[in-house]
Structure 1
């Protein structure tokens, strides 16, 4: 798997195809991005996040050069931590280990290309597959905030997870 910076005006088509339905979209983005994704709305919000928090968006590609995932990284805590955000895998590549490869590639990027000594993330408690994927990559649960997000009559908890650089195994 190869990761590369998101290309504005090009990559939105791939990312828009990853969210197959409104619930999947909410699980992925906490509705930070409007559903359905439009180029203008998605890239406008990405640029806003880059300007406000320094988010760095990336595309993950398979060996054939196909976009198979998306994520963003934000440095915070004076650069000591990186937050992995908006992780999503193409529906045609789910269940193949692509998510685990993507998360490992994102952590490797953070540890090798930033000052971060840890990578953190938040995942909704109801997203069991994602939680298992993050745990398999070495992330440990730090806390759970119950009822953090309302979706269509449901209340989802938010699980915070962390991977320390000294526990990272490539």
Structure 2
């Protein structure tokens, strides 16, 4: 069972261990952090307003398995961001779909958002398919590019409203 727990300074070490390469840091957090990720960067990030930071916890294994955030970007809109399943062996097993569903449920029920959005890199097809499986739709492919080494990564913006999420839940 996947649950969302509040992310605190006690969780810094685990997140830092998971984000073990510059490429993974950019994939996870965009250009908002510098590699290597460290406690000071995370302390400063926790101070930013309008954000809820989570440890993704798997109670069946009694351990944390990831991290995610929800940021309020408008009165009735939340942004799911900085999502990672820490252990690569946990990826591709359907946990991402459960995680995104839990984050949406939290955003709609606890934060009372009417819509949720997220950004994903265009090349991250597995993540896009995961988000689509929960009901997210691509709303735009932004011209904004993030640079990593000699590559340029295009950002895709996705959107889900509460009504469509409730329809998804009936099929889940």
Which of residues 111, 114, 123 is equivalent to 1:114?
A: 111
Change (3 A) 1:25 1:121: same
Structure 1 residue aligned with 2:3: 2
Structure 1 residue aligned with 2:147: 150
Post-superposition, which runs of at least 4 consecutive aligned residues in structure 1 deviate over 4 A? none
Provide, for residues 107-163 of structure 1, a one-character-per-residue CA deviation record: whole Å limited to 9, x for no partner. 010011012011000111122221111111111000001452111111111100011
Structure 1 residue aligned with 2:46: 46
TM-score (norm 2): 0.89
- In the TM superposition, residue 18 of structure 1 has moved relative to its aligned partner by 2.1
Question: Unaligned 5+ residue runs, structure 2?
Answer: none
CA distance in 2, matches of 1:31, 1:98: 25
CA distance in 2, matches of 1:165, 1:147: 27
SS at match of 1:11: helix
SS at match of 1:104: helix
TM-score (norm 1): 0.90
How many residue pairs get aligned? The number is 164
SS at match of 1:85: strand
Structure 2 residue aligned with 1:89: 85
Tell me, yes or no, if the aligned pair for 2:31 and 2:146 is still in contact at 8 Å.
no
